[in-house]
Amino acid sequence: MPELSGVHPAWLPPEAFRAIGSRRTLVLGDDVLADTVRAEVAHACARYGGTLHDDRDGAYDLVLALDSEAGVGPEGFVLSRHDGATTVVAGGPAGLLYGLFEVVRRGETAFGADLPAEAHRPALRRRMLDHWDNIDVHPVMGQVERGYAGGSIFWREGGPRDLTRVRAYGRLLAACGINAVAVNNVNVHATEARLLTDRLGEVAAIADELRPYGIRVHLSVNFASPVALGGLATADPLDDGVRAWWARTTERVYATIPDFGGYVVKADSEGQPGPFAYGRDHADGANMLADALAPFGGVVHWRAFVYDHRQDWRDRSTDRARAAYDHFAPLDGRFRDNAIVQVKNGPIDFQVREPVSPVIAAMPDTRLAVELQVTQEYTGQQKHVCYLAPMWREVLGFRPWGPDGRTVADVATELVAVSNVGDDPYWTGHPLAQANLYAFGRLAWAPGLDPADLLDEWIGLTFPVAGDPGRLRRILHEIMDGSWRTYERYTAPLGVGFMVRPGHHYGPDVDGYEYTPWGTYHFADRDGVGVDRTRATGTGFTGQYPKPWSDVYESPAKCPDELLLFFHHVPYGHVLHDGTTVIQHIYDTHFAGAEQAAAMRDRWEKAAGDVPPELHARVRELLDEQVRSAREWRDQINTYFFRKSGAADAHGRRIY
């Protein structure tokens, strides 16, 4: 529990441990994680005057003990309180750690009224963050691809960093339930490819820092490594020499890092090498790596983000939304048990609004990880407040087979997200973006949690010494609860997506991608806008969903308004369920969204006395930028559609 100078403690300030630190605590267990729990308690006691014990005989306020028969799995625990003692009975060492952090979250409440036994266990077995970090600093992307919080916490330019901060990072992650981290970018460049071989020591050093917090390390690898690193003539997954190379290389990895998690692979996607070059498919590629990892209990995360990024915009038969399903659904049942197909939550690419990916319902015989994007590539790049938990909650609770069927959270075996963390003093650039990281971990543990409650938890832990906690809580809820929908209002309308500046993806550029090879088009003309993905007249994408959604999405009358332009090309005069026309909806939401951004900034002024002045100033500056950017979006989008359609705003507001 290093307290790092110049680094914000996020949701684990010393005060979060006050309730535990002032009490008598017994910790039983003799594993590295039990040692971590003891160290945490001892540290808190040193500050707040409590005591740590290891002898069963005595009266304690808090007891943390192991019982493999507890019936809650290795990461679960049973929490209860009676006769003045709070007890955590953990199913395994990790459960001890998660139990401790549950007590931290509850603070004094954990030592109040009696509590009948409550069983806690994670809904998803792996709760993982993917870092898109590079060792080298890229001239355009910077060090962290799509990173908005400075450089990497693992590497400084070209070499490893002092990793003290990584230990603190692991602690924050464990406190919200995360248990795996992939340390490097899915686009594996030449330098980073070597993390698998001669630079493996750098990965081992990171693993050493994260291990005490129950976090396993995974590595993104380049599919062509046998050629690039091994000097072989081929990377064909069915070639014996290639298979032997991976087996040997993987054996060395485990000799160095015995609890290594496994590989992450982006193959045949956006220029990354893959099995297609050898006439093989994704199952061949994934299974080869799965076989190399299996003897050591490792897994391969094989990403389903595969599409043609060299599409001709004139070609109306190709639909990027279809690509992942077309590539992967036919392979269902062919992946090994330790090959996990990792699917982005939507069919395109982390837009502010997309339907749930149809791949999730199409591979019943494959282990699936759903991938979310905590880093705000398309949702304001950590300059805008955009609390994403409400979106993730919708995704996880979506029922692909209709109201009586299972949810996405039921179908997925794992939840993965692209991290939003860098070497910034607040970890996430925007201090309020910490809430997204926290909420991701908590939702991966318990997908049914309410986003507003999670925000409340985060506020309570992160801002312990605020002047008037009630007031700050209210202000933060007013700013953050609805911030995802606010962002949606002032950006691309009704699920159509993109309209961002090509390359960096920040700020509006309505036609920026319209005539590019990337497959992200809105097709606006003088009469209407949107992508026809119907079976009747469009790309047929709606047919990738099971019923009822294949029918709901097929029909412009039934399709939810917020996804209308994702599935349909409609006239500007098309009337939405709420009675407004599409064009009037565009005007209304864009005026409203920009106004709401301005209202957020006004609200934040009222929190001036409740948070540290530097934090207040940083958020205020960022809100200035959000207000400016939201106006820019409003004016570009409204003007664009006014010029295309010639339709006047019913309220006569200023459009340029």
Residues engaged in binding ligand GCU (CB under 6 A): 145-146, 186-187, 266, 305, 349, 377
Could you give the CA distance from residue 338 to residue 341 in angstroms, rounded to a whole number?
A: 10
Q: Which is nearer to ligand GCU, 145 or 554 (CB)?
A: 145
Enumerate helices (H) and strands (E) in the chain, giving the number of each. Answer: 21, 20
> ∠26-27-33 over CA atoms, to 5°?
160
Task: Using the minimum distance from each CB to ligand GCU, give the nearer residue, 79 or 188.
Answer: 188
Residue with tokens 């267990």: 29
What minimum distance in Å lies between the beta carbon of 566 and ligand GCU?
Answer: 17
| In the complex, minimum distance from the CB of residue 270 to ligand GCU, in angstroms, rounded to a whole number | 6
User: Quick check: 325 and 471 in contact, CB under 8 A?
Assistant: no
Closest CB 248 distance from ligand GCU, rounded Å: 28
Phi, psi for 198 (deg, rounded to 5) = -75, -15
CB of 218 or CB of 266, closer to ligand GCU: 266
**Selected catalytic residue, list 270, 312, 315, 602:** 270
590-621 burial, b if ≥16 CB within 10 A, otherwise e? Answer: bbebbbbbeebbebbeebeebbeeebbebbee
Name the CA radius of gyration of the chain, rounded: 25
Q: Given the complex with ligand GCU, which of 207 and 416 has the nearer CB atom?
A: 416
218's tokens: 């995974």
CB of 330 to ligand GCU, least distance (A): 22
Closest CB to ligand GCU among residues 92, 508: 508
DSSP string over 100-161: HHHHHHHGGGGGSS-EEEEEE--SSSEEEEE--EEEEEETTTEEETT--SSS-SSEETTEEP
Least distance CB 490 / ligand GCU (angstroms): 21
Shortest approach of ligand GCU to residue 348 CB, angstroms?
Answer: 9
What are 65's strand-pairing partners?
89
Shortest distance in whole angstroms from residue 218 CB to ligand GCU: 15
Single out the catalytic residue among 281, 349, 354, 371: 349
Amino acid type, 419 = S
- Helix H or strand E segment including 220: strand 216-220
Q: How far is the CB of 621 from ligand GCU (least distance, A)?
A: 26
Closer CB to ligand GCU, 266 or 522, in the complex? 266
Q: Which residue's CB is nearer to ligand GCU, number 284 or number 377?
A: 377
Strands 51-53 and 24-27: parallel
Q: Minimum CB separation from ligand GCU for residue 132, in Å?
A: 7
Of 34, 83, 31, whose CA–CA distance to 62 is shortest?
83
Is 349 in the active site?
Answer: yes
- Whole-angstrom distance, CA of residue 125 vs CA of residue 415: 8
Distance CA 374, CA 644 (A): 35
Nearest to 270 by CA among 360, 352, 344, 330: 344
Residue 65, phi then psi, degrees to nearest 5: -140, 160
- Rounded to whole angstroms, the Cα distance separating 396 from 502 reads 29
- DSSP line for 264-325: EE--SSTT---GGGGT--HHHHHHHHHHHHGGGT-EEEEE-----TT--TT-TT--GGGHHH
Choosing from 75, 268, 377, 588, the catalytic residue is: 377
Using left for φ > 0, alpha for ψ between -120 and 50, and beta otherwise, residue 137 falls in beta
Q: Residue type for 60, please? A: Y
Smallest distance from ligand GCU to CB 303, Å? 7
Q: How many residues does the chain have?
A: 656
For residue 294, the Cα-to-chain-centroid distance in whole angstroms is: 27
Residue that has been written with the tokens 């400075």 in this structure: 150
Quick one: 249 or 428, whose CB is closer to ligand GCU? 428
Q: Which is nearer to ligand GCU, 88 or 369 (CB)?
A: 369
Q: Which is nearer to ligand GCU, 234 or 516 (CB)?
A: 516
Select from 301, 302, 299 the least CA-distant residue to 280: 302
Nearer to ligand GCU, 193 or 586 (CB): 193
Least CB distance to ligand GCU at residue 99 (A):
35
Q: Is 527 among the residues known to form the active site?
A: no
Known active-site residue 410? no
Backbone torsion region of residue 159, taken as left when φ is above 0, otherwise alpha when ψ lies between -120 and 50, otherwise beta: beta
Residue placing its CB nearer to ligand GCU in the complex, 60 or 378: 378
Q: How far is the CB of 358 from ligand GCU (least distance, A)?
A: 18
Residues 6+ apart with CB under 8 A from 383: 148, 429, 430, 506, 622, 625, 626, 629
Whole-angstrom Cα distance, residue 107 to residue 103? 6
Q: What is the C-alpha separation between 170 and 48, in angstroms, rounded?
A: 23
Residues annotated as catalytic (active site), given as ranges:
270, 349, 377
